Chains A and B, each alone.
Chain A
Amino acid sequence: MIPLGTDLNTSHEELQQAAIDFAKDALGHDMIERDREQAFDRDDWQKCAEFGVQGMPIPQEYGGLGLGILPLIGVMEGLGYGCRDSGLLFSLNAHLWTNSIPILIYGTEEQKTRWLPPLCDGSLVGANGASEPDAGSDIFSMRTRATRRGNEYVLNGAKTFVTNAPVADLFVVYATIDPALGPMGITAFIVERDRPGLNIGKHMEKMGLRTSPMAEVVLEDCIVPIDNRLGREGRGVEIFECSMEWERGCILGSFLGVMRRQLEGCIAHARSRKQFGKAIGKFQSVANRIVDMRVRLDTSRPMVYRIGELKEQNKTAVLEASIAKLYVSEALVQSALDAVQIYGGYGYMTEQEVERDLRDAVAGTLYSGTSEIQRNIIARSLGL
């Protein structure tokens, strides 16, 4: 096994090992079939809740484990390593960072007490509706309207690319109270699935992460009480960016685990597969590819754990999260591509379960802000 870095202390390492054992044992069965059929596994979701995944960052008083962010990244790395169902891990990440965490940080006491325990114990699946057909990277140009009517708001608009929507019970939805206010009009709402006027649109088929369901969400005169508003009116940008900062950082923990699993698989294959009378790993060009995979993993790890360290000290990690998101998501794509090459024709075959990692990896350069958008954020921080 590729050794861990020095980022985790002993108890955190034990927790990570427990996550690896749990994931290998309990998750990711029948992956080829479920990937083909785009099947989300609710039983595995429940097993994760029982293990504590959905409650990791949530304080115990709201039904969680109250883990700090560093051990949490360590657990994510363990899950990425042990669990072959990257779609499930992606759904868990969407649930945690774009639904539970905003409710924890910006929710009223009543909202937290009401929603966090069932989000932790697996009975509710969370989702986040921000993107719209005409508002992707330019997210704050969204058109979904929230019209105030006494003690309620009426929501109208369409959200797209909503991860978990087909199976979700609770949505954090962003809408503008007045497009003329620009970003300062964006407001966040908690919307229950059974609220009249919230309709789940067609299931969206994807290249990768196929076991993580996705759909459009249409809001048609959907009335939500003022008590369902999350945070202040016009402060949705802050909530959205907070979600992105957490997601950008923590989801990368699982990427590290995937990179480590791929690397070990490639080393084993390069040692056992013989051509021209010797192990292919003895050919320098094959070995170099594996060396590059190792270098990518070792350069990625400190970037991800740095986000954890900063957040643990209550410091902002916007820039560090963007740098890490850009670097690690692209490193994962390159390493997944290298893995296919090292396995040769077998790597291209579904049965080997190497090509799926590549399809899953590509999404990482798109969601939570594309690579281009991360570069824009970094450029701006340099005064450019």
Chain B
Amino acid sequence: MDPIKESLRSFILAEYLLGESPANLTDQTPLRTSGILDSMATLGLVSFVEKTFGVMLDAHETGIDNFDRIEDIAALVARKKLGQ
């Protein structure tokens, strides 16, 4: 199990999907385009990613392309860490 994805999943379930079955949150579930994350929640997730993985995200890296599904966010984090 990818620790980055697991950490993202736990955070999202605890903060934004209280009471939801973990099985309903897959690596491919759209988070923003489906309305799971509103603007403040998106910002919360960005801050969580920066703090937890020690990366700085540029505004242009937090658009829907890179930052809508756990899979994409984990890939972004991995890329950023590699570039450090």
Do A and B truly interact?
yes
A178 at interface by CB-CB < 8 Å? yes
Sampled A-B contacts (19; CB under 8 Å): A140-B39, A177-B59, A178-B59, A182-B39, A182-B42, A183-B42, A184-B43, A184-B46, A185-B59, A233-B58, A234-B62, A235-B43, A235-B59, A237-B39, A237-B40, A237-B43, A238-B43, A241-B40, A380-B38
B32 at interface by CB-CB < 8 Å? yes
Closest Cβ of chain B to A340, distance in Å, is 38
Assess the A178–B19 pair: CB atoms within 8 A.
no
Query: Which residues on A are within 8 Å of B, measured CB to CB?
Result: 140, 177-178, 180-185, 187, 232-235, 237-238, 241, 318, 380, 383
8 other contacts beyond A237-B43, A380-B38, with CB at 8 A cut-off? A140-B39, A180-B63, A182-B42, A184-B63, A233-B58, A234-B60, A235-B43, A383-B18
B78 at interface by CB-CB < 8 Å? no
DSSP class of B's interface residues: helix, strand, loop or mixed?
A: loop
Assess the B64–A187 pair: CB atoms within 8 A.
no
Query: Which residues on B are within 8 Å of A, measured CB to CB?
Result: 18-19, 32, 38-40, 42-43, 46, 58-60, 62-64, 67
Assess the A178–B39 pair: CB atoms within 8 A.
no
> What is the chain A residue whose CB lies nearest that of B37?
A183
The 6 closest A-B pairs by CB, nearest first: A234-B59, A183-B39, A184-B62, A233-B59, A181-B63, A383-B18
The interface centre, meaning the residue of A182, A232, A380 with most chain B CB atoms within 10 A of its CB, is A182
Closest Cβ of chain B to A231, distance in Å, is 11
Q: How far is the CA of A91 from the CA of B46 in the complex (A)?
A: 34
